[in-house]
Chains A and B, each alone.
Chain A
């Protein structure tokens, strides 16, 4: 595997159709800007617990809906004439879902995970790469209105009663929804890791002359070049 550096990041624009095909995913490069068309579904701890821990299947099998899973929940309005309107969506931090990913990707055939802030390189190498899955991060992250504009409609909502608006599984129709940034490619490289490496070079100088506090705390992480994930 060749070493990628931040200088290789071109930020090319890519339009992807959901469900996504394997070939298109393999072509994605770190830092590419992706816009989506077609169906995807939201799923986070509520959906993962219900499906993986409680063994409840959704009314329609995941594979028949899409292979794109967005870590988010919408700000949705229940329309008086029936149906729903989603005005804004923002992703939620993905690292919390790491423990569910192996079984999730394997059982559902999901190939594209979209969320906030990515997961660890270890997650990508161990879980994503063997399942040919790629990770896109949302931008910002609070671009709720921008992503809301890319939603053409709500196809279905499952488990609304059981999980509530925030945790239910929303099947959304995308029309040029984006931009998303390729955080992890088919080889499991990570854009955040490249950024971290660069930033770490400056930390020694930054902390120069700042002594340790008089009272220390039991530390889980003490090396400031590490992440707290």
Chain B
């Protein structure tokens, strides 16, 4: 199989129709997002870890938290990736209903693939993506279904939001089919199991933001758990009161295990817990858990048809429309 060509796909129409988002801008912004995500820790996350470093009382755990904070600064000062394992780059694309793209969706995807390959070579990122069996690596983080690009839409607006997440971590995520009879206690137990199991020796690279998906079909459960971990800002709460309370309880529970970073004794495990739900089969209650390690690489930009680009920290992925609030 030949090396995946980042520029394969439909060639853009040469002429830009007024009102369209130019494909060159998409590619340039994609490339810039790759750099920002790899190097600059989002402010909400940094504050969360700094607060933990201030309150942690156990010496080993505190030392590690201080080092994590110094590393965030070192990355920004020297323009180095914050973690040498630069994760698996992926994209979340959100569009207002009136957004139009030069060259259409294929051009957008080609631009993001090219941004991934160029960023990998130039930043540089570690070329982590390999064939699952042959382990073939094209050294550009491209491949079959790689990078993942997910879409969502908003009823109003002509803008395009692009978020990249460089998700690391082979440990700290799990799925389990629970049942209505298991209730909240069952969710808590599964949460604790995952934290204790993967928190030992710090395999999950905690402190982490933990995302839980409850309900849906298995794939939905996994997806919303990951999005809850990676796309919601630290401190943000789910609008449903019961869920927001559960988030707070899980955060406290995770920090009462007695474990800190690297699995050392401490109380700094969970920077925040985010829960998302999806309607599910009447007989079941599937649950998925995802941890977003302390190298929580995430960057977002909004492009408008006038060519303006605005970078921001909060991906604003979970909107009332996305959660289908009030939609019959």
Contacts and interface: CB of A to CB of B under 8 A. Distances in A.
A14 B294 CA distance: 27
Contact of A142 (B71, B179, B189): B71
B201 A192 contact: yes
A144 B82 contact: yes
Contacts of B111: none
Given A73-B126, A195-B264, A144 B81 contact: yes
Most chain B CB inside 10 Å of its own CB: which residue of A31, A140, A198, A211: A140
Given A6-B265, A11-B59, A141-B205, A206 B257 contact: yes
A137 B258 CA distance: 21
A144 B192 contact: no
B124 interface: yes
B185 interface: yes
Q: What does DSSP make chain A's interface, helix, strand, loop or mixed?
A: mixed
Given A72-B84, A192-B263, A206 B68 contact: no
Contacts of B261: 140
B126 A166 contact: yes
Interface stretch (A59-67, A83-91, A103-111): A83-91
Given A142-B294, A146-B71, A215-B177, A206 B192 contact: yes
Contact of B262 (A78, A139, A146, A206): A139
Interface string B52-75: 000000011001100110110011
B92 interface: no
Given A75-B124, A213-B189, A192 B200 contact: yes
Which of A78, A145, A207 neighbours the largest number of chain B CB atoms within 10 Å of its CB?
A145
B84 A148 contact: yes
B67 A143 contact: yes
Most buried by B among A142, A199, A215: A142
B85 interface: yes
Contacts of B205: 140-142
A75 B126 contact: yes
B265 A198 contact: yes
Nearest to B124: A77
Contact of B84 (A9, A78, A144, A202): A144
A74 B121 contact: no
Interface in A69-104: 72-78, 85, 87-90, 92-93
A21 B328 CA distance: 72
A46 to B, nearest CB: 8
Interface residues of B, number: 65
Given A88-B83, A164-B139, A142 B295 contact: yes
A14 B257 CA distance: 32
A76 B121 CA distance: 8
A206 B190 CA distance: 13
Interface string A118-150: 100000000000000000010111111111110
Given A90-B83, A93-B171, A140 B139 contact: no
Interface of B: 59-60, 63-64, 67-68, 70-71, 74-75, 78, 80-86, 121-128, 130, 137, 139, 168, 170-171, 176-179, 181-182, 185-186, 188-190, 192-193, 196-198, 200-203, 205, 256-259, 261-265, 293-295
30 contacts: A9-B60, A33-B63, A75-B124, A75-B126, A87-B78, A87-B123, A90-B83, A116-B202, A117-B201, A140-B64, A140-B202, A140-B261, A142-B71, A142-B83, A142-B295, A144-B81, A144-B86, A145-B81, A146-B71, A148-B80, A164-B137, A165-B139, A195-B264, A195-B265, A196-B263, A201-B258, A202-B257, A210-B188, A217-B176, A229-B201
Identify the 4 closest CB pairs spanning chains A and B, nearest first: A90-B84, A144-B84, A142-B83, A142-B295
